[in-house]
Structure 1
C-alpha cells in the first residue's frame, strides 16, 4: 500500500462495483490519489486556465461525453504531472468510445458511475477515502478487528474477509453508512440499498413484517434471516450496534452480512458480534466528536453569543487563527416556502468542500453559512458563489440569495462578519437590487438606508408631524401630492422627468410642488429639507397620524 495516498483500486473497492465500473486505467490501479473535486459544466474552462497541478480525481456532474472529450483533449497540452488522474462520469459508457479513446490518450483512468447513484454520496465516499489517516489505511489492510484507527468502511472490509460474505453497516433509519465490496452474488436488496444509500421501502416493509427489526432492537443476539428466492433475498445475518447495556441501551445501527454463492464461515455470528462492539465505539466517537465540533463551529459563527475562545476553537478545528478569511451566507429567495437549511445545505457543503477542502459549513436557523479560512479575494469568492447559485437554480431548481463578506480579519471576526452578512440578507432593498449575490461593499448603501428607514418607522418620536397635513390634503381633495413629490425626489429634482413618470404636464407638477412647500413649510431647493422629506416619505406610511 502506498504511503502517500489511497490507490485507485482502494477507491473503486470502497465505492463498490454496484456504484462504479472501471472503464480504463492506463496507469494501473496502484496510482496514489490525494485530492478530488466536483466539476460542473461552467467549471471546466476555469480549470484549464489554472496554473500548476489540478485535483487528481474529478467528479464530472452534468457534463456529457462530448464536452468531456473536448476538455480532456485540451488537457493534453498540460504537463502529465499537472493533469488529473481519474475521471468519474455518468456519461462514460459503452456508447462513448471517443471518451475512452481521449482519456486513454491523456493517461487518465475513466470510471463510469451508475446513473442512479447520487453524486453527493459518491463524493462523500471519495473524500473519506482520500483523507484517511495512515492508521486507518493500515487498519483496512490488516486482519485485526480491533485496530484502534479503523473506520466503518475498513471494518466492513475486515468482517467480509473473515466471514466470507458481503457486509453493510446502517444507521437506525436504514441509511447505509459503509459497505464491503460486492460480488456477482449480491441480491437486489443489497444493490438497491447501496445505490440509494438506504434500504428500499418495499424490502424494509417485508423485513418489518417478518419481525427482524423488533428482534434486533430487543436483543444483542445475531438474527438469522433465511433465503427467500422469490423475493431475490439471500440469507443474511444481522446484529444490532448498541451503546450501553440493558434497558438503557441505545441502538446506533445494524450490521448486515449477506451470504454469497458460498456458505458463510461457521464462526460468522461470533465475528459479527465482535464487529458490533467495534462499530459501536466508532459510531459513538463520531457522535461525540461532531457534537463537540458542531458546538465549536456554531460558537465561531456567533450562534451562541460573542466571546469565543478563538485559539482553542482554531486548534480543535485545525484552522489558522490569523490571516484573512471569507464568510458567505445563503438564504432562500422565498424562505417561507423553501427554507434553504432544509433543501440545499448538503449541496452547499458539498460544493464548498470541493472549492476549498478546509471550508467550514454550518446551518443556523433557516440559513447556511460557509467559512473559507485563509481566503482574502472578494472577487474570487464572489465569482464562485455566483456560479454556485446559478448551478443550484439550473440543476436543482433552488432559488437562493447569498451575501459575501471578504476579507474577514481572522477567526475572531467571523461572528461579526456573519452578523453583517445577515444584515444584507435581511434587507429588502438589497434583495430588490437585482443580483442575488451581493458583497458587503455592494450592499452597504441599501442595507444602511433600509435600517435607517426601519428605525424611523418604529420610533414615533422621529416621525415628522408635518406629513399629516400632506396626507390630509390628499384625502380631502383627492390629490396626489405625496406621490408627486416622491417622483420629483426620485428624479433628483428634474421636473420634466418626474412629470413624464406621472404622465402630467410639467406645469401641473410645479403647481403641486409649490402646494407641498406651502403645506409643509419647507423649501425643496434646500438640501436638508429634501433629505429629510425623502427619508420621512419612505419611513412613514400614508395616512399615519403622528403626535403633534
Structure 2
C-alpha cells in the first residue's frame, strides 16, 4: 500500500469477510498513513473515485498536521516563557492556563545514548503522559525544550503532603504501570505559589536532575530539597574550577610526597576536613591513634607550608579534595 501509486484491493481478509480497498495517503513523498473502505466489488469507477477522495483527504491531513505543529510550537514557546521568565516569544505566555494552587516543576532526561532506544523511551513517556490518571486536584502541563522534558504539576488544594503526592505521581508515570521502569532521570524543584516562582522551581529541578544523573542508572525522582547540598557542590566543583584549583593549592605537593615516601597525608587531611577538625572521629575513620593524626597534621603544615587554622585554606582544600574523591 505504501509503495503503490493507487488504491490496492485487499482480498481474502477472512472467511465471509468482504474485500477491502486501501490507498496510501501522501503529501509529495511524505507518507501520512492510509485510507480503507469495505467493498463488495471494486469497479474501475469506484477505484478512481476512491483515489480522488484520497488526494483530498491527504491535503486535509497535511493541513491539520501543519496547524497542529504550529499550535504545538507556540505552546512550547509559551511553556519556555513560563519556565524561564522574561518577555513572550510569540503570542502571550498567559495563553497557558495554570489553575490556582501550588506548582512543582520536574525536569526529565532520557538515559540511553542509542538513538533508537532514546526514541522508544520518548515514545513511552509521551504515551504515559497521555494515559496517566489525573485527579481534579492535580493538573499537568508537559513539553520538551532542547534535550529535556519539563512538567509543571499543579496541586489545586495544597496540603502538607502535596510534595510527596507530586513525587508519587511522577514515580508512577515513570514506572509505566508494567514494572518495567522507563530509563529516564528525573529531578523535582520546590513548590512555587504562582507562575512567578516557576523559573526558580525549574532551576532547582535541573540541579536535582544533575545530581540524579550521577547515578549509573535512573532511580526514583530526586527532589531538590533532598539534594541541594550535593547540587551546590556539583556547580562549585565544575571541571574548569577544579582544574584552576589544582594550580593554586598545594595538594599536588602532598600527592607527590605520598607517592615518593609512602606517607598518607592526602587521606589524612581529607578525613580531618570531612569531620570538621574533630581529631577523635577523624582518627577513628583512619583507624589510627589521635596523637598519630596530630603528628601527621603538623607534618602536613611543615611539608607544604600552610596554616590549617586558617578557615579559608580549609574551605578551599576541602572543596578540592571533594572533587578528587566525590564519594
TM-score by length of 2: 0.74
Aligned-partner SS, 2:179: helix
Give the distance between the partners of 1:514 and 1:406, measured in 2 at CA: 45
Q: Aligned-residue CA RMSD in angstroms? A: 4.1
2:129 is the counterpart of 1:344 = no
State the Cα distance separating 1:238 from its structure 2 match.
1.4
Match of 2:166 in 1: 381
State the Cα distance separating 1:495 from its structure 2 match.
3.0
Cα deviation code 1:48-81 (max 9, x no counterpart): xxxxxxxxxxxxxxxxxxxxxxxxxxxxxxxxxx
Indicate how the Cα distance of structure 1 residues 428 and 322 shifts in structure 2: closer, same or farther if over 3 A, else same. Answer: closer
State the Cα distance separating 1:501 from its structure 2 match.
2.9
Match of 1:214 in 2: 3
Give the distance between the partners of 1:225 and 1:394, measured in 2 at CA: 36
- Indicate conservation of the 8 Å contact 2:207/2:224, yes or no: no
Give the distance between the partners of 2:134 and 2:178, measured in 1 at CA: 22
Indicate how the Cα distance of structure 1 residues 311 and 229 shifts in structure 2: closer, same or farther if over 3 A, else same. Answer: closer
- Indicate conservation of the 8 Å contact 2:10/2:20, yes or no: yes
- Indicate conservation of the 8 Å contact 1:361/1:368, yes or no: yes
Which consecutive unaligned segments of at least 5 residues does structure 2 have? none
Indicate how the Cα distance of structure 1 residues 321 and 253 shifts in structure 2: closer, same or farther if over 3 A, else same. Answer: same
Cα deviation code 1:323-356 (max 9, x no counterpart): 6432212235x54469985343344334444343
Match of 2:64 in 1: 286
**5 Å matches for 1:359-378?**
359-364=140-145, 366-373=147-154, 377-378=162-163
- Indicate conservation of the 8 Å contact 1:463/1:536, yes or no: no
Match of 1:255 in 2: 35
Give the distance between the partners of 2:71 and 2:247, measured in 1 at CA: 48
- Indicate conservation of the 8 Å contact 1:496/1:506, yes or no: yes
Match of 2:229 in 1: 445
Give the distance between the partners of 1:453 and 1:483, measured in 2 at CA: 19
Aligned-partner SS, 1:326: strand
Indicate how the Cα distance of structure 1 residues 290 and 374 shifts in structure 2: closer, same or farther if over 3 A, else same. Answer: farther
**5 Å matches for 1:1-150?**
none
Cα deviation code 1:408-448 (max 9, x no counterpart): 4655665664444222222379759x973222222221111
**5 Å matches for 1:162-181?**
none
Give the distance between the partners of 1:225 and 1:436, measured in 2 at CA: 49
State the Cα distance separating 1:460 from its structure 2 match.
1.9
- Indicate conservation of the 8 Å contact 2:21/2:42, yes or no: no
Match of 2:293 in 1: 509
- Indicate conservation of the 8 Å contact 2:187/2:222, yes or no: yes
2:106 is the counterpart of 1:328 = yes
Indicate how the Cα distance of structure 1 residues 381 and 282 shifts in structure 2: closer, same or farther if over 3 A, else same. Answer: farther
- Indicate conservation of the 8 Å contact 2:275/2:281, yes or no: yes
Aligned-partner SS, 1:517: helix
- Indicate conservation of the 8 Å contact 1:238/1:255, yes or no: yes
- Indicate conservation of the 8 Å contact 1:300/1:411, yes or no: no
TM-score by length of 1: 0.48
Alignment length, in residue pairs?
Answer: 313
State the Cα distance separating 1:249 from its structure 2 match.
6.5
Give the distance between the partners of 1:463 and 1:278, measured in 2 at CA: 70
Cα deviation code 1:222-241 (max 9, x no counterpart): 333444779x9962211232
Counterpart selection for 2:9 from 204, 217, 224: 224
2:89 is the counterpart of 1:312 = no
Give the distance between the partners of 1:292 and 1:239, measured in 2 at CA: 28
Indicate how the Cα distance of structure 1 residues 339 and 430 shifts in structure 2: closer, same or farther if over 3 A, else same. Answer: farther
Cα deviation code 1:255-288 (max 9, x no counterpart): 12245xxx36988647745753563355224311
Match of 2:256 in 1: 472
Aligned-partner SS, 1:402: strand
Match of 2:189 in 1: 405
Indicate how the Cα distance of structure 1 residues 300 and 519 shifts in structure 2: closer, same or farther if over 3 A, else same. Answer: farther
